[in-house]
Chains A and B, each alone.
Chain A
Amino acid sequence: ETGVTQSPTHLIKTRGQQVTLRCSSQSGHNTVSWYQQALGQGPQFIFQYYREEENGRGNFPPRFSGLQFPNYSSELNVNALELDDSALYLCASSSPIGQSFSTDTQYFGPGTRLTVL
């Protein structure tokens, strides 16, 4: 088990609603990335936060937004939910930028399963 935790585990929302997902980083990691994994697909990069600032964004609309807090935990907010937003949302925390790559560089959390009806 990694030290990355996510809450809630499962969530059911209806179209048009808003949702907030939370992530706590691995100890010593100051960078957080969020990924969306649709059923039968690989994870797709949403965005990354470093030192509380967005540090890269994938091909997702502005209704996907995030925050990183001073303790490096993070939130993913999705407004105006659509049916296609149903997916597993994964948070990954990374060791400080500039360190050499290793198998300890990044850990994924278990994900939040979001269902939009």
Chain B
Amino acid sequence: QKEVEQDPGPLSVPEGAIVSLNCTYSNSAFQYFMWYRQYSRKGPELLMYTYSSGNKEDGRFTAQVDKSSKYISLFIRDSQPSDSATYLCAMIVNRDDKIIFGKGTRLHILP
């Protein structure tokens, strides 16, 4: 079993829809849970992170972590064509550890 599982998609939704992206993981020691956005031919950009369980909101983005289920989610409200990218979930045990990434989900927002 991989440490982090993520459906690669692609996921296509109409503009304005709510997008839900998810990952599961197996290592209960993970403490930091991150979401990166990666545009084509670019490096990953850290969108949001959550420490331990709970929710975090930043504008149109909401990150949720359920450590009891080992399940994390990213919700994008009022999706825009500019949100079209690959979204990578990622996790670390401690701040300076290596990052463990999911495969990434390719998201297409249709105008």
Contact = CB atoms under 8 A, between A and B. Distances in A.
Interface residues of A, number: 29
Interface stretch (A13-21, A41-49, A65-73, A76-84): A41-49
Interface string B24-57: 0000000010000000011111111101000000
Contacts of A40: 8, 103-104
Contacts, number: 64
B95 A2 contact: no
B44 A90 contact: yes
Contacts of A48: 96, 98
Interface residues of B, number: 26
A105 B43 contact: no
A42 B6 contact: yes
A106 B43 contact: no
Interface centre among B42, B49, B51, B88 (most CB of A within 10 A): B42
Contacts of B102: 42
A108 B44 contact: yes
Contact of A42 (B42, B96, B98, B101): B101
A56 interface: yes
B19 interface: no
B96 A31 contact: yes
Interface in A50-99: 56, 58, 90, 92, 94, 97
Interface of A: 2, 4, 31, 33, 35, 40-45, 48, 56, 58, 90, 92, 94, 97, 100-101, 103, 105-111, 113
Given A56-B97, A106-B46, A108-B43, 15 more contacts: A2-B45, A41-B103, A42-B4, A42-B90, A42-B102, A43-B44, A43-B99, A45-B98, A48-B98, A90-B44, A101-B95, A108-B45, A109-B43, A111-B41, A111-B42
Interface of B: 4, 6, 8, 32, 41-49, 51, 88, 90, 95-104
